[in-house]
């Protein structure tokens, strides 16, 4: 993680965003409850997050925004649900995010941070100026799509209205209280017909699984927020998932 911290300027200042504004990556001024997440982000190793790591070469560079806010029920996460008509991952909840564009800049520098904020704005209408980026996690890999994904951690310091910008791509945008994510009653394990087994969450009338659920699961664990849950409680997936 040392390389990531240096690349994204946590210790050296700011990077210039494609929109013309600086994007500082700093944990200063965060609410106390986010300190465990910021602390874990500074030390966590790639294999502590996932067994699927990027290949030495190739893969499509992308980024997601893991945005923490504070709502009526306390800390919460921003998620979106993909439209049910999409060819891949239809109806699946996810973090806002997508592939890097050339104007985002260097994938080894500030490109993923800018891409995460840009994609979140395009998909949810989020105002990036209200987001404090406080960490960047190691790059992970999604074998089924070939995406190399950089998770970008943000604090929603100044909340702005959000919603599905394009209904053809996004069915809805919603927040999930962290209390619901840690509630053992909302936690299950999914089993895909391919044999893949992973953590999942039954929250906000949605089944959060796959890459998104895996990252949330690891954040809860390394932040010390995880509550023991029944890993034998399984939800089957079908081949369309």
**SS3 call for 116:** helix
pLDDT of residue 87: 53
| C-alpha–C-alpha distance, residues 180 and 193, integer Å | 27
pLDDT of residue 2: 29
Residue linked to tokens 């890459």: 211
Instruction: Go through 124-158 and write b for each residue having 16 or more CB atoms within 10 A of its CB, e for each that does not.
Output: bebbbeebbbbbbbbbbbbeeeebbbbbbbbbbee
Q: What is the pLDDT along the chain (241 residues), one digit of tens a residue?
A: 223 333 333 333 333 344 445 689 999 999 999 999 999 999 999 999 999 899 988 899 999 999 999 999 999 999 999 876 555 555 789 999 999 999 999 999 999 999 999 999 999 999 999 999 999 999 999 998 899 999 999 999 999 999 999 988 899 999 999 999 999 999 999 998 888 899 999 999 999 999 999 999 999 999 999 999 999 999 998 866 6
H/E segment holding residue 111: helix 111-124
82 contacts 169 by C-beta, under 8 angstroms = yes
Query: Of the candidates 177, 13, 205, 3, which has an alpha carbon nearest to the alpha carbon of residue 91?
Result: 205
Query: Of the candidates 225, 219, 216, 221, which has an alpha carbon nearest to the alpha carbon of residue 95?
Result: 216
166 contacts 81 by C-beta, under 8 angstroms = no
DSSP string computed for 13-76: -EEE-TTSSEEEB--TT--GGGHHHHHHHTT--HHHH-S----SS--EEEEEEEEEEEETTEEE
pLDDT of residue 31: 98
Instruction: Go through 1-16 and write b for each residue having 16 or more CB atoms within 10 A of its CB, e for each that does not.
Output: beebbebbbbeeeebe
pLDDT of residue 4: 33
**pTM higher than 0.85, yes or no?**
yes
pLDDT of residue 193: 87
């Amino acid at each position: 993680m040392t390389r990531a911290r240096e690349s994204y300027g946590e210790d050296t200042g700011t990077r210039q965003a494609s929109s013309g504004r600086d994007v500082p990556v700093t944990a200063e001024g965060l609410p106390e409850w986010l300190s465990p997440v910021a602390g874990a982000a500074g030390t966590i190793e790639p294999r502590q997050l996932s067994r699927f790591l990027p290949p030495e070469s190739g893969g499509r560079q992308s980024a997601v925004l893991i945005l923490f806010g504070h709502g009526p029920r306390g800390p919460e996460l921003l998620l979106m649900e993909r439209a049910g008509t999409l060819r891949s991952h239809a109806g699946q909840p996810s973090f806002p995010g997508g592939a890097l564009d050339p104007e985002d800049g260097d994938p080894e520098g500030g490109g993923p941070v800018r891409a995460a904020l840009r994609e979140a704005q395009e998909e949810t209408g989020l105002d990036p100026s209200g987001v404090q980026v406080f960490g960047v996690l190691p790059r992970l890999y999604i074998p089924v799509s070939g995406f190399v994904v950089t998770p970008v951690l943000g604090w929603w310091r100044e909340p702005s209205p959000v919603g599905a910008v394009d209904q053809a791509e996004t069915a809805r945008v919603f927040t999930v209280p962290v209390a619901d994510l840690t509630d053992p009653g909302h936690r299950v394990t999914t089993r895909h017909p391919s044999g893949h087994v992973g953590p999942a969450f039954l929250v906000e009338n949605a089944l959060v699984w796959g890459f998104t659920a895996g990252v949330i699961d690891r954040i809860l664990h390394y932040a010390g927020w995880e509550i023991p849950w029944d890993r034998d409680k399984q939800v089957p997936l079908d081949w369309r998932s």
